[in-house]
Structure 1
Amino acid sequence: MVFSVFVLLALALTGRLFVLQVQQHADLSQKAEAAHLWTEPIPATRGAIYDINGALLAGNTTADDLYVDMSKLGNVSERRRLADLLAPPLNANPDDLYVSLSKEMTGTLRLKGNLSDAQSARMRELAKGWPLELLTHAKRAYPNGALLAHVLGYATLENVGAYGIEGYYEKQLGGTPGSSTAEHDALGNTIPLGQQRVTPPVDGNDLTLSIDMNVQYIAERALDDGMKSTGSSAGQVLIMDPHSGAIIAMASRPTFDPNTYYDQPDVAAFINPVVNTVYEPGSTFKTLVWSAGLNAGRITLDTTISEPHCIIKYGYTICNTSSAHYNETPATGLAVSDNIMAMDIAERLGKDDFYKYLQNFGIGQLTNIDLPGEGQGLVSYPTDAGWGPLDLDTNAFGQGISVTPLQLLIAVTAVANGGHLMQPYVVQRISDKQGKVVSETQPKVVRDVLSSTTTSQMRELMVGVVEHGTGVLAKTKGYRIAAKTGTAQIPHPGGGYEGSATIGSVVGFAPADDARFVMMVKLDRPQSSQWGENTAVPIFANIARELFVYYKVQPTDYNP
């Protein structure tokens, strides 16, 4: 009996050994190998960002994070003393540090990230007598600080792009991490002659933007000065090449510093209002209405209209800011920004053609610029529920319809360049780390909107706005500037419009006969004056005059 049991046990053991040595050999070998093979990631180097002239806008550096080994800290008095030592170089409150150092934990505690060079040096000195440790990591660096912040966005502490170019082009900039696999002994030491496999990382590509930082600086400085003098709560400047669609400058206020984005308490500060935020444009929109009327042949330069100061439409009273006008032409109507003439032109077009032209101009549609979160705008069409004939009239002078600043400037660009709606872009080219061009952005005409005859006529009308109309503060000796001003009411969330709050703006281009740039200036809630002609136009003029010098645009013999 005993012998039989012994035989059975032996057979069972033999069977188990057979399973382990033969049937499960490969599986167990893989598990044993995996237990000794450790894989660590190799981060890719993030691609750099440059302006059109090669100036560095976003690069890479390193920074230290400060940790403390809580298991090696002593009693209460010792923790208090460490807090007092750390507070001055870290610019921290010693009481706050003491609270952190008093936590009941045995691991390591992160006290502060992204130390300055001076802070790191001081912490290394303190680490000689205290259980402190510095861990170095890659960090994104923006040498121009807050300049161009909304366009660039930022890279997080994990070096991942967020907002702006950093977020939109994350795949191109971020690259692909590699890995290093090595065999370790039971104590965790690398075995020199053991198995080793290295998959090198693929570094991110570099981006060259269409932005010219010289122009960007001019725009941001003028915007800051203008906001200060007008008491505006926010503002934007957008400058574009009318012939290519390249964005030359894009500025927004308030702004932030991408180097210290984590200090910004409100994430709304990262949203780019030029691209993401819609507003009612007011009278700048008349540029499109006059263009549509001329292009469709519903008005000519000789058309005359006699308009009262106010008119009642569908039970609502709509007025001009000035007195009644008699035998008014499109030229004088645009110069004085006549609301009632705008309504007349819209009605001559009719609802079908009016909204067809808006669609052709790209109103209510994405421009597909290479920036994240673009706003589409808000347009009610005759087929939409709630649309009424009054909408046609109010839309004609830019009320009850919403656009982004980018959307409106793209539409006005068609007047400047002969009738072509251009595809806007910010990234001019993408290159690999060896300098090889991966892709280059070429100008793209989305569609033709206006005839060359219409655009020639509109240029003259918009020059008239500057010469003897609401844009007279942009008048510059020796240069023909085309522009249209706007003053828009601000919709109230509960319906209707805010009391006296306005948005002052201007769109235009120069030189009028061969535009080197198109530009928009927009100010939110200016306090010095509610009118765009008094608030936004001086900023426009200051920038334009500097650009004439920068681009070496020679004055003509024209004498205003």
Structure 2
Amino acid sequence: MNSRRRSSKSIAHEPTSIGFVRRAHFLTTIFSLVAVVIAGRFIYLQIFERERFVALAEEQHVMSQSLLAERGEIALRDGDGIYPAAVNREYKLAYVVPKLIDDPVAVALAVSTILGLDEAGVRARLLDRHDPFEILKKRISDEEERRLKELNLKGVAFLPEIYRYYPAESLASKTLGFVGPGDAGEIGIYGVEASWNSELAGQNGHVSQERDAAGRWIALTDRDHVEPKDGESIVLTLDRVVQYEVEKILRESMDLYRAESASALVMEPKTGKIIAMATLPDFNPNEYGKTEDLSRFMNQAISIPYEPGSIMKPITMALGIDAGKVAPTTEYVDTGSVSEAGYTIKNAEGKVYGRSSMTKVLEESINTGMIFIERLLGNEGFRDGLKRFGFGTKTGVRLPAEQGGSLRNLDNLKGSLQFYTASFGQGITATPLQLAAAYGALANGGVLMQPQIVDRIIHADGTTEPVVPREVRRVVSQATSKEVGAMLRSVVVNGHGKRADVPGYLVVGKTGTAQVAKKGEKGYEDGLTIGSFAGYAPLDDPQFVVLVKFDNPQDVLWAESSAAPTFGKIMQFLLNYQRIQPTEPLSKKSNI
């Protein structure tokens, strides 16, 4: 019996011994794996995450402060001086420390009354005693600050902040643009503020130094100090007085003709400098956040190409004359229409003019006359000529969102229909700026100038760097330029441009009433038109190129009754403003 009990006892302890060994192996394996993971993690952190943890460690004992650069200002030309158009202005921010407020109800009433805030909302913020800092209102007025300070409210204080301010409000707003918050301070959004942001913004600096456990500077340690580099200021080519007057005239005309939008450009043909660039409706950049329709920020003069219509005809004429294919006296017989590829192209209102000279073609704006010239040039010659004038590519003006228009309809040289319609400005697109630049080439003797929006740069040290006008290329000869100018004078005297004339001066130009292409499908919108007039003066020594464009005017059909008289008003102002002496009798218009 005893023997049996010993044997039984021995057998009973054997499984326990085996389980212990297994558990030991298991734990050893687990500890080994954990050790490997820890070692691997340590190696990873040492090799791959070292820089990040060094940076975090430095943040614990290094105090750093950004030093913001001052943004450069933007000015317009103003006689012999300049007019500040975008400046930096100091405003005050009113804030409150809730835990310092003794009577939240009374303070909420006083603050909300002075700052025009909701009393209940202010009271709720003041009652949150755990909130260390609560902004009441940004950009408070001097009067609001004075009234609050008179109350001497404990816990209410002020901080200075620098904001961008536009003294002339909506004047040239689409050219100027505005600024908004960025990662390193304010950045330009739209307009010159955006396209010249790198120059205007400057470079921020910083100062950093080690600190003790209490967060105080350690005076004996090295300090890393990089001074900020303030931004450069720029003076635009825009003339303040001209810009103001052009906007005024354009706004009055836009209201009169009930147009959806309008644009006007004034350029110096010899330099390409843009003296005025007006597009309506506009906005106030000081309150850009209140603008619900974001399309108001878009500068139609450079960003919205359109089918220009008959103001393209002088370009086609210049190409024909320059190639020796036609002369002002060259005649052809107009039958009223031209058929091509199953389509019939007619003159406006179905008119037939019979035997007509090239001068008469421009005077009467005869479509078939343009087709006559295009056929003589050939499709490739005509297309290459348009490209020389800058159509189909951006002008290169340093403004954001510029479009280059389109000559895609002319890709297939074998299809003549598109070339015929393009000869009188249909089926191709261009921006007002492209057209103004092309007319500038006709005015200055045949040289295409790059449009220029910045006149000079004022560096942070006060030195000035002028922006030199740039010639793109010669597009036609000086002789061709002179002949086309004389023909365009005849348009103003004898043709559809009579209402653009200014008594005493040789004003030249051409009307254009274009159809509005449907979006996403072929054809044109019924009842919608775009009226334009482009020209220059004085003919013998052109000082100004002016282009006026109205989108969908409601009370007039033809550009000669909308864009032409508006052009005339602008040109008359310009000639008087620059004190250019009349060269012709004031009693009658001159023909040459």
Whole-angstrom distance in 1 between the partners of 2:553 and 2:65: 56
Distance 1:276 1:88, change over 3 A: farther
Whole-angstrom distance in 2 between the partners of 1:260 and 1:245: 32
The answer on 1:120 being equivalent to 2:145 is yes
Alignment of 1:119-268 (within 5 A): 119-124=144-149, 128-129=153-154, 131-157=155-181, 158-190=185-217, 195-268=222-295
The answer on 1:325 being equivalent to 2:353 is yes
Q: Which range moved further: 218-227 or 85-94? A: 85-94
Contiguous gaps of at least 5 residues in structure 2: 1-50
The answer on 1:354 being equivalent to 2:379 is no
The amino acid of 2:364's aligned partner reads V
- CA drift of 1:89 comes to 4.0
- CA drift of 1:404 comes to 0.8
State the match for 1:498 in structure 2: 525
The amino acid of 1:336's aligned partner reads E
CA contact (8 A) 2:268 2:275 kept: yes
State the match for 2:38 in structure 1: none
- CA drift of 1:97 comes to 6.2
Other structure's SS at 1:159 match:
strand
Whole-angstrom distance in 2 between the partners of 1:429 and 1:138: 25
Distance 1:415 1:33, change over 3 A: closer
Contiguous gaps of at least 5 residues in structure 1: 1-26
Distance 1:462 1:126, change over 3 A: farther
- CA drift of 1:370 comes to 1.1
Other structure's SS at 1:540 match:
helix
Alignment of 1:433-448 (within 5 A): 433-437=460-464, 439-448=465-474
- CA drift of 1:114 comes to 2.5
CA RMSD of superposed structures (Å): 2.8
Larger Rg: 2
State the match for 1:20 in structure 2: none
Alignment of 1:140-539 (within 5 A): 140-157=164-181, 158-190=185-217, 195-322=222-349, 323-384=351-412, 388-437=415-464, 439-495=465-521, 496-539=523-566
CA contact (8 A) 1:355 1:381 kept: no
Whole-angstrom distance in 2 between the partners of 1:125 and 1:168: 44
State the match for 2:19 in structure 1: none
Distance 1:84 1:29, change over 3 A: closer
CA contact (8 A) 1:124 1:134 kept: no
Whole-angstrom distance in 2 between the partners of 1:83 and 1:235: 48
The answer on 1:54 being equivalent to 2:82 is yes
Distance 1:84 1:255, change over 3 A: farther
TM-score by length of 2: 0.83
Whole-angstrom distance in 2 between the partners of 1:457 and 1:440: 34
- CA drift of 1:203 comes to 0.8
Whole-angstrom distance in 2 between the partners of 1:97 and 1:491: 54
- CA drift of 1:528 comes to 1.7
State the match for 1:39 in structure 2: 64
Other structure's SS at 1:210 match:
strand
Distance 1:343 1:97, change over 3 A: farther
1:34-55 CA-partner distances (Å, limit 9, x unpaired): 5343110111111122223322
Whole-angstrom distance in 2 between the partners of 1:351 and 1:105: 77
CA contact (8 A) 2:502 2:571 kept: no
Other structure's SS at 1:327 match:
strand
- CA drift of 1:88 comes to 4.7
The amino acid of 1:256's aligned partner reads F
The amino acid of 1:234's aligned partner reads S
- CA drift of 1:84 comes to 5.3
Whole-angstrom distance in 1 between the partners of 2:115 and 2:341: 66
Other structure's SS at 2:82 match:
coil
The amino acid of 1:151's aligned partner reads T
- CA drift of 1:492 comes to 1.6
- CA drift of 1:551 comes to 0.9
Whole-angstrom distance in 1 between the partners of 2:172 and 2:549: 17
Whole-angstrom distance in 1 between the partners of 2:258 and 2:151: 48
- CA drift of 1:416 comes to 0.2
1:138-159 CA-partner distances (Å, limit 9, x unpaired): 1112111110111111122542
CA contact (8 A) 1:314 1:390 kept: yes
Other structure's SS at 2:362 match:
helix
1:413-463 CA-partner distances (Å, limit 9, x unpaired): 1110000011111112112123212x3221221110101111111001111
Whole-angstrom distance in 2 between the partners of 1:55 and 1:482: 32
Whole-angstrom distance in 2 between the partners of 1:527 and 1:30: 65
1:57-82 CA-partner distances (Å, limit 9, x unpaired): 2111112334445667899xx56x76
- CA drift of 1:318 comes to 2.6
Identity over the aligned pairs, expressed in percent? 34
1:88-137 CA-partner distances (Å, limit 9, x unpaired): 544455577678889998454444332232333345456715x5443322
Alignment of 1:536-555 (within 5 A): 536-555=563-582
CA contact (8 A) 1:138 1:159 kept: no
Other structure's SS at 2:408 match:
coil
- CA drift of 1:232 comes to 1.0
Q: Which range moved further: 297-306 or 278-287? A: 297-306
Count residues in correspondence.
Answer: 528
The amino acid of 2:527's aligned partner reads S
Other structure's SS at 2:348 match:
coil
Whole-angstrom distance in 2 between the partners of 1:31 and 1:248: 54
The amino acid of 1:118's aligned partner reads E
Q: Which range moved further: 117-126 or 451-460? A: 117-126
The amino acid of 1:146's aligned partner reads S
Whole-angstrom distance in 1 between the partners of 2:135 and 2:525: 48
The amino acid of 2:145's aligned partner reads S
Distance 1:447 1:128, change over 3 A: same
Distance 1:127 1:178, change over 3 A: farther
CA contact (8 A) 2:267 2:273 kept: yes
Whole-angstrom distance in 2 between the partners of 1:220 and 1:344: 39
- CA drift of 1:518 comes to 0.5
Distance 1:427 1:331, change over 3 A: same
Whole-angstrom distance in 1 between the partners of 2:514 and 2:553: 12
Q: Which range moved further: 255-264 or 283-292? A: 255-264
CA contact (8 A) 1:141 1:259 kept: yes
Distance 1:39 1:384, change over 3 A: farther
Distance 1:289 1:35, change over 3 A: same
The amino acid of 2:242's aligned partner reads V
